[in-house]
Amino acid sequence: MNVPLQSSRHREIATGRPRRVAAFTIIELLVVIGIIALLTTIGLPALKGFGKGTGMAGAQHQMLQDLGLARLSAINGRTTVYVVFVPTNIFDCIVRVTDPRTLQQLTNLISGQYAAYALLATRTVGDQPGRWHPRYLSEWKRLPQGILIPPYKFDPALASAPDPYLRSFSMATNPPLPFPTGKTLLSPVFPVPYIVFNSQGQLASGRDELIPLAEGSIFFTKDQNGQYVSSKSDVPVINPPLNYTNHFIRINWLTGRASVDEATRPKFN
């Protein structure tokens, strides 16, 4: 005859001895809390810098990917492809525009100054040679939050600077580039900053181009109705000021390939 096994509770009753329950002592609990506090103290500074590093690394990866896409689009489409940036005088554009749709598009790009760009092709395969049929290959993209392109890169006075690290973007005046869509032409009155790849995937400028990236912020002024308004305070705040000397994207003019250039440069004056 089989005798059923007794449960632990039944054995407690039969033997009169209570079951022992595993638990932490006060001392063990205090030791664990102390270890957690120590690890938090050590790791917190590293965690504070983690977000910044990820933002810059993300911006670099994004730019490398999109510059590579521009190069491949030029080669595959046998055309010229521009990487165009939002002009910093966008309010001057807005006051002269009457078309409601264009006005809305420009308003949406106000906060994209110093941070937004798009890819623009001048023609597609099958178009008549020598004829322009410009179209945007991408939506307007923005760098990650907290990452900006420094203001000097948009200064026309630096377009011919001999030092490539100090040289600004070229400004499209001849031929003029459509902005903010392929059907809207505001240039040459409002030149659009750009970098351009030829049909062989090389830089049409015949020289290396560098895109500086900086940690910073910019807060655009709004009126009481929440509408953007032009203000002299709408300028980027670089952190630390003028010290964006080792975060560059370099594009080799001959191959058209982009890479991270971390050469340390003197502070800009």
User: Domain for residue 48, yes or no?
Assistant: no
Band of pLDDT at residue 266, cut at 50, 70 and 90:
very low
Identify the top-confidence range among 29-43, 122-136, 213-227, 231-245: 213-227
Q: Which domain holds residue 181?
A: 73-261
Q: How confident is the model at residue 242 (pLDDT cuts 50, 70, 90)?
A: low
pLDDT at 81 over 60: yes
Domain assignment of residue 109, yes or no = yes
On the CB side of 2, CA atoms within 13 Å amount to: 2
DSSP string, 54-78: HHHHHHHHHHHHHHHHHHHHHHHHT
Q: Within a domain: residue 195?
A: yes
Planar angle of CA 205, 173, 127, nearest 5 degrees = 75
Average pLDDT over residues 112-123: 92
**Which one-letter DSSP state was computed for residue 225?**
T
Q: Which of 157, 197, 190, 160 is nearest to 176 (CA)?
A: 190
Structural domain count, the chain: 1
Report the share of the chain in percent with pLDDT over 70.
73
Task: Check residue 211 and give its pLDDT.
Answer: 94
Residue 53 lies in a domain: no
Is the bond preceding 175 in cis, omega lying within 30 degrees of 0? yes
Which residue is listed with tokens 């991408």? 138
Task: Judge whether 246 lies within some domain.
Answer: yes
Does residue 228 lie in a domain region? Answer: yes
127 domain residue, yes or no: yes
Let me know if residue 204 belongs to a domain: yes
